[in-house]
Structure 1
Amino acid sequence: MRFCIAVFVLCATWPAALSVTRYSIPEEKERGSVVANLAADLGLEPGGLAQREVKLDIFSNKKYLDFNKKTGELYIVEKMDREYLCPAKPASCFLKLDVIIESPLRIFNIELGITDINDNAPHFRRDRVELDVSESATPGERFSLPNGVDPDVGINTIKTYKLSVSEHFTIEIQTGSDGTQYVDLVLTKSLDREQTAVHNLILTAVDGGVPVRSGTANIIVRVQDTNDNPPRFDKQTYTINMTENTPIGTLVMKLNASDLDEGLNSEIVYSFTLYTSEKTQEVFSLNHNTGEITVKGTIDYEDMKFYEMHIEARDKGTHPLLGQCKVVVNVKDMNDNYPEIIIQSVKNTVEENVAVGSVIALVDISDRDTGDNGKVSLTIHRPMPFTINTSSDRPMHYKLIVSEPLDRETVPEYDITLIVTDAGMPPLSDNETITVHLLDVNDNAPQFPQSFYTIRVMENNAPGALLSSLTAFDPDLHENQYLVYFIIEKEIANTSMSMLFSINPENGNLYALKTFDYEIEKEFLFHIEARDSGSPPLSSNVTVHIIIVDQNDNAPVIVSPWRAQGSVVEEKIPRSTDKGSLVAKVIALDTDSVHNSRITYQFLQVTDATLFSLDQYNGEIRTMRMFSYRDPRHQRLVVVAKDNGEPALSATVTIKLTTMETAVKAYSDMTEEPLEYDIFSDINLYLVIGLGSVSFLLLITILVTIVIKCQKPKPSKAAPPSRNSVISERNSTIADSTLVSNDAYWYSLFLAETRKGKLVVRQPLPKGSRYIVSSIPRGTGLTDTSDSAASTLQYPK
């Protein structure tokens, strides 16, 4: 009963399934693309499909399509390739699917047409085609070429073929009954293998799509040879001169006829013609394959003065071609016996300092011939340091002697070639070689590549570090060449060089034995000697200049304003201080040199940045304006002094300023009035005593320094004198207004320059300092004509 109802329902809805809905899309359409809206196209309600049972039957192509029940859209699940789906290249390619909707049951037939796009380039099943064509082929001959293949259809398939430019070939395209195109290669001009043996052509298949695609195949045409070139000799007549008694088997000459053909057509066979006499063929033989003419009988000048050979060269082609030549052999009378050299005695080994005129060998010469053919002479071919002398009583006896000094380092051995020659026509000669070995003597001193070595060593080096390798060269041999290196002893400041440096006696490697400090020692000058092991030994020395290079290994030290370790400098100034007044001066010293000791000053912290200014070069702190009632009473200034090293080192000082509502004069006022203190006050008494003591010590120091300087050699460059400071071994400029000397004694007082250049006592400093600071106004330079007042200060190192 249920079966009958189902059949009834199916039959009732069957007319709806008879209509077919068709869609068309291009192949390679992207995934997710909507093919069609089935709800709209089939007259269905999109909202109603969600509550109804919808079945999409896509047969075997379900992996490509799917259906969205909510929207009624048919969309692509995976890209479609028309060439894969329809490999037989039909004109039309369809995917068939059914949409089945229940309640009530409805069936829709859908065909999805896949249209072709030009996504495949033509190609050849063989990308290389080789053809063999005879050079005798006539123009118009045709040769079949492979067809191209393009899986696309319609206008996207192969449209035409093209051939690369050739004066010998072209192509013709034939179309079969099924529309297939066939390509023939047509010969348009005769071929010549000897001119071009291989023709390389390119066949291109082009489709009609947009854009156009193409594929190529290489056509290799090998031209096959025909026997169209006869063998040729480079001469028609060859003339050879030979002496009588030439040994049997001697090669007279090798004929070499050429044939431009190839294969059997170029293989040549040589033979005598009937014009060659039997007598000639008894004396000479001809190799049929190689063309070599050799002697097979006795050549006698008295029997026959010349021989003529008529020879032909024939190739091995089907229809052989040939060429001919003539060989004439002229026989010359000969000197039958060669002269001889007899070595009576020889010295094969001599010392390189052998005396000029020493005899190396005794030589006799002879010749069994008579007349001019028996007259012989001896010559020396090489080398020219040697010569030969003949004995007056024995004309055929010679002495080989040394004609100039010998040097083993230049030439270690000599091959002396003696040549004996007779006076025959043509002359005969023979030679003998004498080898002379030279023994080494110690005649060369060791030599350094340089006479002066400058070695730069960074201070704080590790003890035992390799500084340089000083290697000398000695061209002598064996013990005369073995070198020993050592430092020539020299004391500097009661210190031996061997305590500072060490050299490897075997290879000349120079090492530092201690760590150097640029601030203590800046350079060393000494000598290194290289001595060989000969007897007697020879030696040479070289000057070594060690330059210690400064590192930024010393931080600046703030010497003014002085304060105990870790303490804060406290200063008191009147609140009525004028704008531009000097509040304090920070002075820092750095024992490094050049740029590593150049110091600049900066505020690290300041209570009020509008109230104070800091000169980055001389460290002067001045007021930028007058104090107001709003300004705090206490001002805290943190100044950092930073050197110019890499990386930079620095030091800081904290200055605590307290303003006072008193009638104390400002610093600027203090400098404008002369010092009128009671000379017998306590501070002045201490000042007089201190200055007297320091002056006495300074005088003693100067005298001692002068005595030491007089005893020491003058340095290469004297230190520039500085005004208002003691001359020392090193003066370094800090910024552009301060000179520092580390050899002066302490002055116990801090003297600060004021606006008008007068000096005011600020505060005492501790004893035992070893620096002197000479302050010179910026821009005045280091001239002796400067009128600016200077201030001095020492600080302990």
Structure 2
Amino acid sequence: MPLDWGAAMLSWQADSIKGFLLHLVLLSTAWETGSGQLQYSISEESQHGTFVGRIAQDLGLEVSELVPRMFRLVSKDRKDYLEVNVQNGILFVNSRIDREELCAASVVCMIHLEALVDKPLRVFHVEVEILDINDNAPVFPLIEKHFAIAESSIRDAQFPLEGASDADTNANSLLTYKLSPNAHFTLAVTENYEHSASLFLVLKKPLDREESTVHHLLLTATDGGQPQLTGTVQLVIKVLDANDNPPAFNQSIYKVQLFENSDSGLLAISLNVTDLDEGANKEVSYISSSFSPPNGKEKFVLDQETGEIHVKGSIDFEDRNFYEIQVEAKDKGNPPLSGHCKVLIEVLDVNDNAPEVTVSSLSVPVPENSSPGTVVALISISDRDSGANGQVTCSLWPPGLPFKLTSTFKNYYSLVLAEPLDREQVAEYSLVLIAQDQGDPPLTASSSVVVPISDMNDNAPTFAQPSYTVFVRENNPPGAHIFTVSASDPDVAENALVSYWLDEKLWPLSSYISVHSESGKLYALQPLDYEELKLLEFQVRAKDAGLPSLCGNVTVQVFVLDENDNAPAVSGLAEDTPIQVKVPVAAGHLVGKIHALDGDSGYNAWLRYELYDASSGPWRVGLYSGEISTTRALDESEGSNIQSLLVLVKDHGKPVLSTTATFSVSLVASAQAVQSDAHLSRMGGSRKPLADTANLYLIIAICSVSSLFLLVILVYVALRCQSEEKEAMMYGPGTATLVCASEVGSWSYSNRHSHILAGVSGEAGAKSDLMVFSPNIPVLAENGKELVPNAVGQVSCSNSF
């Protein structure tokens, strides 16, 4: 019998070792084909500094780049069992590792590490398997076990024994048992469940209490490690008389399944025994002799009278998923007999743990010029449940954001940029990472991540419109502020700090115009003279302070407005030589003509002529023509008379500027006609008869006045002038602009920038002066109101007097 049992044990150990090696081969193959990461192995209890592996070489990293790229190890359980020497790239043991403390009774014990490097950010997953060594000897629950066996016990009667436990795994925990030599008992071992073996003390020879009342045996347990370790228990057997039939369970092993979180007081199982005796020998009480693990007595309670096992405390699958209870049923005979059974309780998982989301290595803020695929953060998820309850998927909310999740390893994700960014549209993103398991019902967890976007100088300064038109009166004071340009930049900080300067590529402007580099204010550096310069056209450029800087530009047109700063000047008149007029002459005879010029423009240059003393003499002067003629007939009695006429020449400006001219007339007799006609021709007179000349001027004047009046009426009806602006200085934005100058006269500019619609009439005394400009911005009057365009996109105004 012992030889057969020993052979069976050796065969069982060999099969177990083969299965374990096969399991390791399959696990290694699955790792190599599935994970693509690193795996090392190290024995537990290794000394500090023990070599584990050349991790830098295995990860394809140069040792010289470990420090610059901030190589570091992150352990999932946050313990520093292992460390890397960044000087040589070797992974070594940093602190004592106790496999039993770390992984309890798990077959495979792994330490999960994450190796992180920056620039660029990468993560490598490293697993280090902790190999078991035979550092734990088998341990029995008791040092000494007492039995009471009736002498009437039959041959081959079996008495259950509690086996030893070994905290090691695999071959180191494979136990063999040996009973000290004796004449009455032998040991039987039955592998009846995957968690433990059942030991029985078998009676091979009937007991004789009169021969011996107590038997002392030694039970030894030996593990399969190298070297082998042993544990012992002392068996003390007391031989009893009388009660021949012990209680008997209908099963030696009971298996029960319970869901975790079962309510306290729930019935797990009801045990039942039979006893063929009668009376007190048949009355049975139940005793829970042992619990495995020991805290099982806090989870379950056995009713000694009924044999029912109830849930007592909280059952958590994640804490412990298996319990074993040894139950003894003892009758009340004298001596009492007992029966034994084992209750195995398996705890089933329910989905009671929500996933956990952990965000690490968050690289913010993200530059707006980052390319798609840039890693923003590393995310890991976990769930303490098992099976489908522990399978977790991760998603990103809200949808439509320029980010996506990329799976890098089981339960590890990278938050990467999916689309280009624009900080001017969105400066910050709020993301929610949602993890959901596959349980029923599913549980979820979330983690919020804020991703700010940093600015890049990708926007040039821009002006509100492509060009500005500015009107400035001449003779302005030096340094006068004439306009302000302003550019905007949607960037921030120095990327939006704008400075201004003039573009002098076309022609130099430094002597005329300057711009304040910060405010954009335009200044006229010297007085402007309309007679010399009518239009300044230049570009103002705006540049931000980004690196590299970006520029924008705007065209500015400065029109110089005329002031009445030039008095009329008379030309072609010789005062020392009088005009000779032969007498007699009729009334209205043209004697001569005064011609004057004015350096101004428009009304400021429109001249009119008056006699300084209109009451003296038979003379008159044309109001606008400057022609001097007689007011009455002259006869020969007035001959040999020299008269001086003082003619006053005025313009229509405000204030009015004037000058005087002296005109001398000498009245001669008819014999001097030839000299008078010749001199009159030299001064602008005519050889024709006076009546014909006067008629000709009258016809021309009447036709001019009629034509001009008709033209003014047509222009007035077409343009519908609404207001008159006197001495207005106008500048501002707009489209096609019509400007009235003043009561008389008109502004005149180059043909490129202005069109004169109506001119000065003759002596009719009425005038309507219009000028149209075509800048890009509307004109503002002095009161700040905008002149409203008419149906054809122009603004009209007129003056008459």
Sort the TM-score into its range (normalised by shorter chain). 0.3 to 0.5
Greater relative contact order (Cα 8 A, min sep 6): structure 1 or 2? 2
Rg (Cα) greater in structure: 2
TM-score of the aligned structures, taking structure 2 as reference length:
0.39
With normalisation by structure 1, the TM-score equals: 0.39
